[in-house]
Amino acid sequence: MNPVELIRKKRDGKSLTDDEIKFLVSNYTKRKIPDYQFSAFLMAGFLNGLNKQETAALTRSMLYSGKVIDLSSIPGVKVDKHSTGGVGDKTSLILAPIVAAAGVKVPMISGRALGHTGGTLDKLEAIPGYRTDLSLIEYKSVLQKCGAVLIGQTKEIAPADKMIYALRDVTATVESIPLITASIMSKKLAEGINGLVLDVKTGSGAFMRKQKDARALADSLINTAKSFNKKVIGFITDMNQPLGNYIGNWLEVYESIKVLQGEKVDDLLEVTLNLSSAMIYLGGKAKSIKEGIKISQEMIDNGKAFEKFKEFVELQGGDISLIKNPDKYPKSEFHNKVLAEKNGYVESIDVYEIGMASIELGGGRLKKDDVIDPKAGIIFYPKIGSRLKKGDLIAEIFTDRKNKVEEVRKKLLDAIKISNHKVNKVKLIKQILK
């Protein structure tokens, strides 16, 4: 095959065969096709789109560029969850122990913070000693022992994805549903899972701000999962307000601990229990999603989920004394309160700006080599529909960067739009797709 002919074929809007896509990906991964040619293919695919067959072929080629983990020696159904990311989205930390406690294996390979959204790995690494860099042998061992394991992408898993994503990032080809699908699914399918629950966010704090775009991505992910004979359920959930109240790496671990200990955080619990129930259902431990919600709540109420959380944290090297006594965690040098400046109802929240505010405080990265301060972040209280009076507590700021406090205070106030009229609460679960 000739790369130039294949680029021309895609440029002219024609479909590539499975073998043609495999040729391009395989030879790019082996460095036999240079960056400039593969960039041309990516742009042709970005502009002309990839159909279902091409998307599945691209996913398959990226998946088999590395190892596909074989978990057949570990009994039980293996189910994971993938979220497209949001502000305050700590559901993985809560649902993994819930689902494992319910008897479903949870092998989870997670990512780092991307843009304004937090990353599960960065949150877990806020726990002193916690290792996200387990070898595949250690990964299987932890899963066998406690039923849940949360690590980062290894060099053996979907190496083509790492190369292609880096190229997409600098060639303006990131925002393509087929390319996003292949990137996500090549990693998820490499975990050795039987089933997958998808949480596709929509709203001001999501990458897919419009619901129709979120639906298109969810459909693409579901179709691709089905083409690999995986059980799959997709949720489109709201990201027009932070999920829960705590934003920032240790702060989100702290809120997760509190929820696992039975504290009621309504919006965070609603989304988490829906996702965990779907995982329990796919894992064959519930007859319906409704029954899965009941089982999930039982795992919190009887303390089994929190025990499971402590178990996998300890197995992955984390300091569980801080899980048992989270108030002993080191504190930020500066702790400031943000108060409402007028009366009214919260009409809308710019969640993107709140995510960026947390980064400014040290809770995320503006540059690839930035060092995250795990203590830094925000507790953000109001939700859409909340009634505010002048002087009410809107947020608390935690940082070691004194020069950022006033800037972030103003950013948080500007992120809230206040109305004189009552505002309805948002619907958190917008669609469930199978």
Q: Which residues are catalytic?
A: 82, 161, 168, 183, 187
Coil, strand or helix at 37: helix
Name the residue type at position 119.
Answer: G
Other beta carbons less than 10 A from residue 182's beta carbon: 32
**Which two structure tokens, joined as six digits, stand for 12?**
């002219």
Q: Do 300 and 259 contact (CB within 8 A), yes or no?
A: yes
Name the residue type at position 60.
Answer: R
Other beta carbons less than 10 A from residue 31's beta carbon: 9
First-to-last C-alpha distance (Å) of the chain: 38
Task: Write down the residue that tokens 């997760």 correspond to.
Answer: 256
- C-alpha count within 13 angstroms, C-beta hemisphere, residue 323: 26
Query: Containing H/E element for 109?
Result: strand 106-110
Q: Do strands 246-247 and 148-152 pair parallel, antiparallel, or not at all (unpaired)?
A: unpaired
Q: Do 161 and 183 contact (CB within 8 A), yes or no?
A: yes
Q: How far is CA 169 from the centre of its chain?
A: 18
Return d(Cα 368, Cα 248) in angstroms, integer.
18
Return d(Cα 142, Cα 312) in angstroms, integer.
7
389, burial (CB in 10 Å: exposed 0-12, middle 13-18, buried 19+): exposed
Task: Write down the residue that tokens 């030879």 correspond to.
Answer: 27
Q: Do 152 and 124 contact (CB within 8 A), yes or no?
A: no
Name the residue type at position 163.
Answer: M
Name the residue type at position 234.
Answer: G
Q: Is the dihedral of CA 247, 248, 249, 250 positive or negative?
A: negative
Return d(Cα 222, Cα 103) in angstroms, integer.
24
